[in-house]
Amino acid sequence: MKLLSPAQTRALDQATSEVQGSTSLELMERAATAVFDWLLTELQPAYTTPIHLFCGPGNNGGDGLALARLLHGAGYAVHVWLLPADRHSADFAANHHQLPREINCQELDAARLPDLPADAVVVDALFGAGLNRPLTGLAAAVVAHLNTADALIVAVDIPSGLLADAAQEPDNPVVRAQYTVSFELPKLAFLLPQNAGFVGEWYVLPIGLAAEVIHKTPVDNYFVDAAFMQGRLPARTRFSHKGTFGHALLLTGSRGKLGAAVLASKACLRGGVGLLTVQVPAVGYDVLQISVPEAMTLTDSATDFVTELPDLKPYAAVGIGPGLGQENATCEALRQLLKTARVPLVLDADALNLLGANRELLALLPPDSLLTPHPKEFERLTGEPARDDYHRLEQLRTFARRHSCYCVLKGAYTALATPEGTTYFNSTGNPGMATGGSGDVLTGLLLALRADKRLSTLDAALLGLYAHGRAGDLAARETGEAGLVAGDLVRFIGPALRELTALPRRL
């Protein structure tokens, strides 16, 4: 799915009306009906549940008024609170006019803000995508009031006070919703950790906006869902052989961190690699041979850490990082790898820390390398702490452009920035995956996909991130989130990839 800017969203609304020959008021009715259906299905309020709708002066408020009418018509106990304003949008006015007289509808007054019992549902329809400055005055007081109430808050389109695609000062008033119900496409704001406390659990409801217009709208950001992944992983043909899926080399492990080497190796094999050779320090020989018999093991001349590169000729892709440690001699091996490798690279963990500590090495990164830092590793790579999540995203884009690489930023909605400046946000995964070794599994899986000669760098990266999260979701069904360990992810890579595999064409 595409992530549109507020201006593009407005343009899409208008274009939809033109293409479909409908009015913006009809579109608003569709939006309100979608929220109405969602509320009844997901929240299942009792007829006695007090539902308080807080409506602003624009179309977000118009959505709230239309929703109040629908709820009232279905027999629910609604109460409408209006934010006084000099001007109202035309569709707000139309819905205000249509509001049945029996509905209790009052203007908000700073001196007498309404009591909101704990069993009430609050609908936040104060401001939506039209917000262009921080809330002040009465609107700010209402937001503060809602945030102290125990009632359940559902934000329409976006929590009021939150900007759809830009940062705001930490003390700006923003509604803290339990649920955010948005239309057609998600917003960038929903994907960033700093907004989680405002957005809560979010839903995107289809309201039939013009697909052909969305298709033509150029964007920088994508949300990677199942539909987006369709067709990216070709099925294996009967005559495929080991060479098709490549021979991967993994440089990994140091004394006490061979578990990382084992996890990454197993993930690479489960990721479908044709052949895997693992180079570990001498101390890791038995460990690897016994734990991962499917892989070939090369040992370094050093006992405790990796210091050398084997001949790189046989390999289709090289991965480096899991459990590597940060010895100087390891750094030299990394330098050699960057200088000599002519095949796709995947760099993770200590390989990234070494790059961060020796930033002159970044100039040696071969184009199209894939880096998989988490925020702390990314900060070491840039050397500049991010002001907030939006700034960090900007840094990620700049980094990928500057170094012509694909750079991941691991997190709840892991981001992938491409050298062309596009960012993809992964949709799979769960908090159970915040556990040691999870990243090593990702590295191994990505390495397998990069060794697969059928896949572009972008598809390999998207498939790896999506399948990794999906493996976590499948594993958590069995283990629960707390009980999930990285080894469980390895077990579910196969099923996750199977779900993604394109079915052969049929007539």
Ligand X SMILES: NC(=O)C1=CN([C@@H]2O[C@H](COP(=O)(O)OP(=O)(O)OC[C@H]3O[C@@H](n4cnc5c(N)ncnc54)[C@H](O)[C@@H]3O)[C@@H](O)[C@H]2O)[C@@H](O)CC1
Binding positions for AMP: 410-414, 439
Positions 28 through 57 that interact with K ion (CB under 5 A): none
- Is the Cβ of residue 162 or residue 490 nearer to ligand X in the bound state? 162
Binding site residues for (6S)-NADPHX, as ranges? 59-63, 128-134, 157, 260, 323, 374, 440
- Is the Cβ of residue 84 or residue 117 nearer to ligand X in the bound state? 84
- Is the Cβ of residue 147 or residue 326 nearer to ligand X in the bound state? 147
Q: Which partner from the list K ion, ligand X, none does 13 bind, CB cut-off 5 to 8 Å by kind? A: ligand X
| Smallest distance, ligand X to C-beta of residue 62, A | 6
Q: Which partner from the list ligand X, K ion, none does 143 bind, CB cut-off 5 to 8 Å by kind? A: none
- Letter string b/e over residues 117-126, b meaning 16 or more CB atoms within 10 A of that residue's CB: eeebbbbbbb
Q: State the DSSP string of 159-184.
A: -TT--SSS---TTS-----SEEEEES
Is 157 near ligand X (CB under 6 A)? yes
What is the contact mask toward K ion in residues 131 to 160, using x (rule: CB under 5 A)? ------------------------xx---x
- Is the Cβ of residue 64 or residue 344 nearer to ligand X in the bound state? 64
Helix segments in 39-77, DSSP class H: 59-73
Residue 105 β-bridge partners = 80
Closest to 125 in 3D by CA, of 194, 165, 79: 79
- Is the Cβ of residue 156 or residue 486 nearer to K ion in the bound state? 156
Binding site residues for K(+), as ranges? 60, 124, 160
Contacts of residue 165, Cβ cutoff 8 Å, sequence gap at least 6: 3, 5, 6, 187, 188, 189
| Residue of 1, 5, 35, 59 interacting with ligand X (CB under 6 A) | 59
Judged by CB under 6 A, the stretch of 40-48, 56-64, 338-346, 489-497 that binds ligand X is 56-64
- Quote the DSSP letter at residue 456: -
- Is the Cβ of residue 156 or residue 276 nearer to ligand X in the bound state? 156
Q: State the DSSP string of 172-230.
A: S-----SEEEEESS--GGGGSGGGHHHH-EEEEE-----HHHHHH---SEEEE-HHHHT
Residue 195 CA to residue 192 CA, distance in Å, equals 6
Binding site residues, as ranges? 59-63, 124, 128-134, 157, 160, 260, 323, 374, 410-414, 439-440
Positions 123 through 152 that interact with ligand X (CB under 6 A): 127-135, 139
Q: Which partner from the list ligand X, K ion, none does 56 bind, CB cut-off 5 to 8 Å by kind? A: ligand X
Residue 416 backbone phi and psi in degrees, to 5: -125, 120
Is 124 near K ion (CB under 5 A)? yes
Question: Which pair of structure tokens corresponds to residue 34?
Answer: 């979608």
Judged by CB under 5 A, the stretch of 37-45, 121-129, 299-307, 429-437 that binds K ion is 121-129
| Smallest distance, ligand X to C-beta of residue 188, A | 14
Q: Which partner from the list K ion, ligand X, none does 28 bind, CB cut-off 5 to 8 Å by kind? A: ligand X
What is the contact mask toward ligand X in residues 179 to 208, using x (rule: CB under 6 A)? ----xx------------------------
| Smallest distance, ligand X to C-beta of residue 113, A | 17
Q: Which partner from the list ligand X, K ion, none does 350 bind, CB cut-off 5 to 8 Å by kind? A: none
| Residue of 3, 63, 181, 204 interacting with ligand X (CB under 6 A) | 63
Closest to 100 in 3D by CA, of 86, 120, 80, 114: 80
- Is the Cβ of residue 91 or residue 327 nearer to ligand X in the bound state? 91
Closest to 485 in 3D by CA, of 495, 472, 467: 472
Long-range CB pairs of 10-13, under 8 A, 24+ apart, other chains included: 10/129, 11/217, 12/184, 12/209, 12/210, 12/213, 12/214, 12/217, 13/209
Q: State the DSSP string of 392-427.
A: HHHHHHHHHHHTT-EEEE-STT-EEE-TTS-EEEE-
Strands (E), 26-131: 50-55, 77-82, 104-107, 121-125
* Distance in angstroms between the alpha carbons of the first and the last residue of the chain: 28
Residue 317 CA to residue 271 CA, distance in Å, equals 13
- Furthest CA-CA distance within the chain: 85
Q: Which partner from the list K ion, ligand X, none does 495 bind, CB cut-off 5 to 8 Å by kind? A: none
Q: Which partner from the list ligand X, K ion, none does 124 bind, CB cut-off 5 to 8 Å by kind? A: K ion
Residue 77 backbone phi and psi in degrees, to 5: -90, 95
Q: Indicate the pairing of strand 221-224 with strand 423-426.
A: parallel
| Smallest distance, ligand X to C-beta of residue 1, A | 14
Is 159 near ligand X (CB under 6 A)? no
One-letter amino acid for residue 412 of the chain: A
What is the contact mask toward ligand X in residues 73 to 92, using x (rule: CB under 6 A)? ----------------x---
Residue 506 CA to residue 369 CA, distance in Å, equals 36
The footprint of K ion (CB under 5 A) covers 124, 128, 155-156, 160
The footprint of ligand X (CB under 6 A) covers 9, 13, 27-28, 31, 56-63, 89, 127-135, 139, 156-157, 183-184, 209
